[in-house]
Amino acid sequence: MKKRILILPNILLSIIILMLLPVNKCLFSQSIDVGTGAELNLGAGTDICATSFGNITGNVTGSGTNCTEAMPVEMMNFSASVIQDNVTLSWRTSSEENNRGFEIYRSDNNSKTSWYNVGFVKGNGTKNTPSNYTFSDTKIKTGKYYYRIKQIDNNGNIQYYDLSSLVNVAPPGKFELQQNYPNPFNPVTKISFTIPFDSRVSLFVYDLSGREVSVLLNNKFLTADYYSFEFNASNLSSGIYFYKIVTEKYSGVKKMVFLK
């Protein structure tokens, strides 16, 4: 009797194993890194579905397949363009299923050790036709950056898409004092400028009579980059003011209007 009792669980276990054997699919929402000396073996019947294979210095072997199972969002392309210190990301999907949207991440300068969430773009839910998306990451310091987007569906499932190349925000090519924004303003505005090489910089604000009313920078050493400083005129009266930048190689003056 005891032998018969033991046989039944063994039969059930064998049936379960046989049912599971043909189904050998793995779904990964993040990229797979295959390090030097490592080997990823895709056995027969295995389907590894990942957004990307990154840092492949090891070997990927086996008779399994890579990503034959459809993903919730089918990405067609992902690219970036740079104008001065502004980065514009563009991507296109061929179809979407239950797509809530995309979180945008930027890395540390020339590194993938830390990622920072810099924005979100709403998705189109479920759609069987192509969709185009853009995101602008503005006022970026000079350097080289990696970008990635995290697609999130309405159930909380995620998958990552990495930009294939570094984005280079190069130092400016010339000195330039830009028009403050907003202008007219009340009571806060931003004054931006560029310096193409390391310099000592002073930034002053004068009233219409030429009287100095504010010192934003006083002979401060700055590296070549794009800069923006906030000017608060809450303690001043409405009127026309001038701001002036002075460096070893360049000086410039622009007018701004404060309206309470």
Flag whether pLDDT at 180 surpasses 80: yes
Averaged pLDDT, 110-136: 93
Using one digit for the tens of pLDDT, what is the confidence trace for 42-85? 665 554 554 444 444 445 555 444 444 445 788 899 999 999 99
Number of separate domains in the chain? 3
- Shared domain check, 156 and 82: yes
- Shared domain check, 189 and 226: yes
* pLDDT, greater one: 109 or 120: 120
**At which of 169, 198, 233 does a domain end?**
169
What pLDDT does 33 receive?
Answer: 59
Joined together, the tokens standing for residue 210 give 């030429």
- The CATH number linked to 137 is 2.60.40.10
Q: Token match 């190069």: residue?
A: 170
pTM listed for this prediction: 0.64
- Shared domain check, 164 and 142: yes
Domain span at residue 132? Answer: 73-169
- Shared domain check, 159 and 111: yes
